[in-house]
Amino acid sequence: MTFINSIPKFTGQNYGIWREELEVNLALAEIDLALTEKAPTEPTAPVRGESETDAAWTARVRDHAPVQAKYNLDKAKWNNSNRKCLMVIKKSISEGIRGAITDCATATEYLEKVKNQFTDSTKAYAQTIIERLSTMKYNGGGVRDHILSMSTMAAKLKTMNMRLPDPYVVHLALNSLPGEFSTFIVNYNS
């Protein structure tokens, strides 16, 4: 369960990263059944027909018993997974946000409420990243670190389904360098 500790706290502005880490860690902890499968549906209990013989009825009841037992086992596994997922999800959300989200019966419903409530703030966060990325300038230090920083910002946008084409990110990185790197830029463009 050490995986659970590596989930970042959801603060309202890190939805994409939080959701990705949450899903990965729940899968690694092997408790994500409630997120990957729907709750099992209870099989219909047999109903005795008016003209059904005792032997036929007994056979149908006997045939139904393993189906019902499988459902009971699957339902218990699913309920256990759902309970654990809800606990982990709620634990990984900051208290102020958790209080604003109404409780749900299933982990998938709860995640959907979180998503619906915070997609707008995710868009605002993405807009901030795009603005920083497009106006970023090299201010000394390692060029490699500068370019990695820009690459990291572009990767954050990918987690928010706002993928920038790699050639565009390269173009932004090259344009953020000062004139003293013009030889490097010309060589790259060649």
Tell me: the pLDDT tens digits for 76-122?
999 999 999 999 999 999 988 888 889 999 999 999 999 888 766 66
pLDDT at 159: 76
Give the C-alpha distances (Å, rounded to integers) separating 34 from 23, 112, 146, 169: 11, 13, 41, 38
Residue 4, CB half-sphere, CA atoms under 13 Å: how many?
Answer: 15
d(CA 102, CA 141) in angstroms, rounded, equals 47
Contact 82, 120 (CB under 8 A): no
Q: Which two tokens stand for residue 179?
A: 């004139």
d(CA 3, CA 32) in angstroms, rounded, equals 13
Query: pTM of the prediction?
Result: 0.63
State the first-to-last Cα distance of the chain, in angstroms, to the nearest integer.
51
pLDDT at 1: 62
pLDDT in tens, 36-84: 999 999 999 999 999 999 999 999 999 999 999 999 999 999 999 999 9
Element housing 107 (H / E): helix 107-135
